């Protein structure tokens, strides 16, 4: 069943989430709307002057934003490959003492200690893009952070294999890969939000869009969701470590 709302309600909600939609009763593009936005309406192609059929509005720009998270994740995977391949040629390497300390902490550390370490590590990768999203020129930060995170994961894999040989692969699979994968997904989600928020702040400063106070509330709420995801990640990572650490000996 189609959901009908007044034009004022529709525009207010659109501004609250900073997503450009269509204005009923004409072909004019909303102020601040992306140039690549396409609008499809009901089959009869008619909208009343007093209401907008939300379920029939399809915005191309929104679809493009959905691909942004996937692109950021692919960037992280590419960074991991680069970090693993070029580890031996890089001037910065992971010291053996650091790797041994990391594994000892995982194997002999307590449940809550491992959970806290994973939680804090994942949270840092979310705080940085969150703060960058509040800046009008924070887009490069949100776009590059997944790549740097991926490079770190790739270098960790290469360092474990370089130090422990084939035994480094199961150690990576148990102690690094689960938290790295889930943490990268959460990080990419936050980075996508960061880039969108930076674009909105920049548009407001240039006068192309009116300020939408409700959007910042939504931005904070979604960051809170990422924080909860990081907390659950820490718990899950500690559980995996607790279950598999008996098979590892250093």
Over residues 49-60, the pLDDT tens digits come to 444 444 434 344
Distance between CA atoms of residues 26 and 8, nearest Å: 15
**Region 70-85 average pLDDT:** 89
102 or 60: which leads in pLDDT: 102
CB 239, CB 179: distance < 8 Å = no
List CB contacts of 144: < 8 A, sequence separation 6 or more. none
**Would you tell me how many other CB atoms lie within 10 Å of the CB of residue 3?**
10
Q: Indicate if the pLDDT at residue 78 is higher than 80.
A: yes
Torsion of CA 234, 235, 238, 240, to 10 degrees: -110
Mean pLDDT value across the chain: 78
Radius of gyration from C-alpha coordinates of the chain: 23
Condensed to tens digits (0 to 9), the pLDDT of residues 124-175 reads 999 999 999 999 999 999 999 999 999 999 999 998 988 888 888 999 999 9
Share of the chain above pLDDT 70, in %: 70
The DSSP call for residue 2 is -
Condensed to tens digits (0 to 9), the pLDDT of residues 222-243 reads 999 999 999 999 999 999 999 9
Q: Which residues of 136-147 are buried (b: 16+ CB within 10 A; e: fewer)?
A: eebbebbbbbbb
Task: Measure CA 1 to chain center.
Answer: 33
Backbone angles phi, psi at 119, to 5 degrees: -60, -50
């Amino acid at each position: 069943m189609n959901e009908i709302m007044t034009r004022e309600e529709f525009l207010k909600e659109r501004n609250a989430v900073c997503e450009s939609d269509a204005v009923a009763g004409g072909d004019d593009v909303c102020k601040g709307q992306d140039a690549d936005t396409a609008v499809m309406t009901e089959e009869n192609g008619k909208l009343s002057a007093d209401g907008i059929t939300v379920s029939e509005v399809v915005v191309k720009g929104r679809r493009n934003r959905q691909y942004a998270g996937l692109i950021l994740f692919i960037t992280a995977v590419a960074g991991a490959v680069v970090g693993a391949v070029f580890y031996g040629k890089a001037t910065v390497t992971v010291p053996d003492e650091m790797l041994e300390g990391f594994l000892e902490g995982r194997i002999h550390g307590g449940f809550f200690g491992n959970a806290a370490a994973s939680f804090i590590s994942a949270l840092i990768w979310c705080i940085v893009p969150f703060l960058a999203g509040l800046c009008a020129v924070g887009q490069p930060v949100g776009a590059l952070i997944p790549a740097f995170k991926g490079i770190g994961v790739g270098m960790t894999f290469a360092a474990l294999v370089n130090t422990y040989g084939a035994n480094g692969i199961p150690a990576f699979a148990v102690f690094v890969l689960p938290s790295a994968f889930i943490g990268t997904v959460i990080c990419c989600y936050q980075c996508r939000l960061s880039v969108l928020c930076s674009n909105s702040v920049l548009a407001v400063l240039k006068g192309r869009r009116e300020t939408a106070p409700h959007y910042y509330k939504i931005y904070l709420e979604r960051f809170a969701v990422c924080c909860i995801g990081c907390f659950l990640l820490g718990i899950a990572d500690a559980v995996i470590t607790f279950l598999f650490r008996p098979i590892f000996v250093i």
